[in-house]
Structure 1
Amino acid sequence: MSDSETGPQPTQQPTPQAGGVQDSLLTVHTQYVRDLSFENPNAPQIYAQMKTSPKVDLRIEMPMRAVQDRLYELGLKLTLNATLEAQTCFLIELDYAGLMTVGNHVPQEEIEAVLAIDGARLLFPFARRVISDVVRDGGFPPVMIGGLDFAKLYQQRRGQQTADTTQPSAAPPADGQATV
């Protein structure tokens, strides 16, 4: 039998408990929705008023935490607030996360950057799809969030942390725009 007859075969990925971490930069073990909220406070009136696309503001945070040695949870917290004139069309909050192992060859001081840049880059397309689907299911045109420059976001976060040493090391949110 060919693969087309039996379906795709699972790929072998190391488990977090496996004896060694492969030499890859990053291994994603799983990704998941931690929390999802969609609010449509002005339905059904807002649909009758939509002659133009709403303005969508995007806010993103990237919390990360160690689970085990070299095993981390990286979160993408995306908040979108869509308004039309002074009215809220919808508000969506997505907390999407991934469990990933950072390779042994990555120095300890570079782990945060690898997660914030490469890890976020791997998770983002899936989080973007969840948002687009939920917004569409809420009766609005799907939101198309453009590609984000996670290296730039990381550098901005690091710059903010060094400029303001009175704040805790939590990542300040990045703000942006999305289109409907």
Structure 2
Amino acid sequence: MAADVTPESPAVLPQADARQVMLQKFYLRDASVEAPLAPQIFSRPWQPQVDVNVATNVQSLGDDQFHLVLTVTVTAKLGTDVAFLVEVQQAGVFVVRGFPSEPERAAVLAGYCPSLLFPFAREAVSDFVQKAGFPQLLLQPINFEALFIEHLNRARAEAQGAAPATTAEATTH
């Protein structure tokens, strides 16, 4: 049963400690594309080795606000020659409040928030690749939460003296 909201009976405000994640602003912070062997590279058969590297950087802005920069670097090689290199820094300002512990907040900032920015970075990478004269490149979705858990497991293993786990690099053929 829903309650009517009138001036005499205002809506119940969410509790101050309620968990909230809000994207306040997103923007393309920096982007670059290099095609060092153009135009000669365009005459070669196109069967590249594509490496995708992803990194995040989080900075606290105070008052539960955080600035997150998602960097996506894509390198395509034909043999040992670099056909293109595209780097995109997609950024966002997030409000993250109501998470009582640092590990929970870190999981949100490393897992959930980058997943909100990634579609914009993926679109920018695709646009730059095509504008540089290369065939369309569609980056596959990334599970940032799984990468964060992998990072935690690797840090624990290294702290215990075990061999580190795999890296967060994707390779596509």
Q: Indicate the TM-score class for this superposition, using the shorter chain for normalisation.
A: 0.7 to 0.9
Equivalence map 1:156-167=2 (5 Å): 156-165=150-159
Match for residue 42 of structure 1 among 15, 19, 37: 37
In structure 2, stretches of 5+ residues that fail to align are 1-14, 160-165
- State yes or no: 1:176 paired with 2:170: yes
Q: Alpha-carbon deviations, 1:62-83, whole Å to 9, x = none? A: 1111111210011111111100
Matched, 1:126 2:120: yes
> Does the alignment pair 1:147 with 2:141?
yes
Displacement of 1:21:
7.7
Moved over 6 A (4+): none
1:34 and 1:124 map into 2 onto residues whose CA distance is 13
Partner of 1:68: 62
Which amino acid is the alignment partner of residue 48 of structure 2?
Answer: P
Task: Tell me the equivalent position of 2:88.
Answer: 94
Distance 1:91 1:148, change over 3 A: same
Q: 2:100 aligns with which of 96, 107, 130?
A: 107
The structural deviation recorded for 1:41 is: 0.1
Check conservation: 1:41, 1:90, Cα contact below 8 A: yes
Q: Deviations over 1:114-162 (max 9, x none)?
A: 1111101111101100000011100011211101111110011112222
State the alpha-carbon separation in 2 of the partners of residues 157 and 88 from structure 1.
29
Shift in Å, 1:177? 2.6
TM-score (norm 1): 0.77
Map 1:23-38 to 2 at 5 A. Answer: 23=18, 25-38=20-33
SS in 1 for 2:139: coil
Larger radius of gyration between Structure 1 and Structure 2: 2
Counterpart of 1:32, as a letter, is: Y
The alignment-based identity, stated in percent, is: 32
Q: What is the CA–CA distance in structure 2 between the aligned matches of 1:27 and 1:99, rounded to whole Å?
A: 9
TM-score, normalisation: structure 2: 0.80
- TM alignment of 1:5-20, pairs within 5 A: none
> How many aligned positions are there?
153
**What secondary structure does 1:153 align onto?**
helix
Compute the displacement of 1:61 (Å): 0.7
Is it true that 1:79 corresponds to 2:70 in the alignment? no
